[in-house]
Each structure stands twice: as structure tokens, then as C-alpha cells.
Amino acid sequence: MGTVVPHILLVDDEPDLRDLLRMFLLLELHPGGVRITEAQTGEDALTACTHDHVDVIVLDLHLRRRITGFDVLRGLRRQPADHPFVVAWSADSAALAQAAALGADRTVEKGTDMVVLSEAIRGCLAAAN
């Protein structure tokens, strides 16, 4: 039987930022292997989590559509216990505090070293196993 590769969902409405994150994480997490998918909207993120097993979500809190990152976080927490770990991502420290209160497993401030984000994801993946 093959090794199960962790699945990370990147949720951000900025395509260039998603591309940068995907490339960085593929390089950073490559030795263990990782599957990365992307969602541009909160709706797409919730659908992806319903139809596929996701281990970790990197979630932009300030999505500019009808469903925000906060709404995604609330929706995930209403699901059964097998919901993914969430790394909330924002440039707004008050938003990060609100995300933590809503149940985000880790929070990372946008603009910090990308290694901090990678470490948060690694911590979530370790906790999932």
C-alpha cells in the first residue's frame, strides 16, 4: 500500500499569492511529499473540504466575496470531528485573534517570513498524525 501524502488547501483570492505559496510549499515540503490544491473563494473551500480529505487549510481571512475566511472557519467547525486543521492567514492582528477565538489551529501574519507559515503547516501535519 502506498504512502498517504498530506493534502493542503490554499484559500486566497489573489492568484499570484496562491501561486507563490504553492511553489514555496512544494519546495519546502518536498522531501515528505505534499498535495496542494487551491480555492479562490470561501464557497470553493467549503466544497473542497466536503468532497475531498484535506489535512490543512491555509485560509486568507479577508476573502473579497460573499463568504469570508471567517465564514469558512465557522462552517468547518460545524462539520464532524474530522475537519482539517486551519492556519489562518492575515495582515490584521485583530483578525488573527478573532480567528483563534473561532478555532483556528494556528495563525500567521501575512508579510512575515514564509518559513513561519511552513512551520505552522508542519505543526498541523504532525498533530494530524
* CATH number of the domain residue 111 falls in: 3.40.50.2300
CB 68 within 8 A of CB 62: yes
Higher-pLDDT residue of 128 and 93 is 93
Helix (H, G, I), strand (E, B) or coil at 20: helix
pLDDT at 29: 80
pLDDT above 90 as % of the chain: 61
Is residue 1 in a domain? Answer: no
Is residue 82 in a domain? Answer: yes
Q: Which pLDDT band holds residue 44 (cuts at 50, 70, 90)?
A: very high
Is residue 78 in a domain? Answer: yes
Domain that holds residue 67: 7-128
Helix axes 69-77, 42-51, angle to 10 degrees: 30
Helix (H, G, I), strand (E, B) or coil at 5: coil
pLDDT at 1: 45
Is residue 2 in a domain? Answer: no
The predicted-structure confidence for 90-103, as pLDDT tens digits, reads as follows 999 999 999 999 99
Q: In what order do the strands lie in the sheet with 56-60?
A: 35-39, 7-11, 56-60, 85-90, 106-109
> Which whole number is the average pLDDT over 107-125?
90
Is residue 110 in a domain? Answer: yes
Number of independent structural domains in the chain: 1
Is residue 34 in a domain? Answer: yes
How is the chain split among helix, strand and coil, in percent rounded to 5?
45, 20, 35
> Which whole number is the average pLDDT over 62-72?
91
Cα–Cα distance, 33 to 30 (Å, whole number): 5
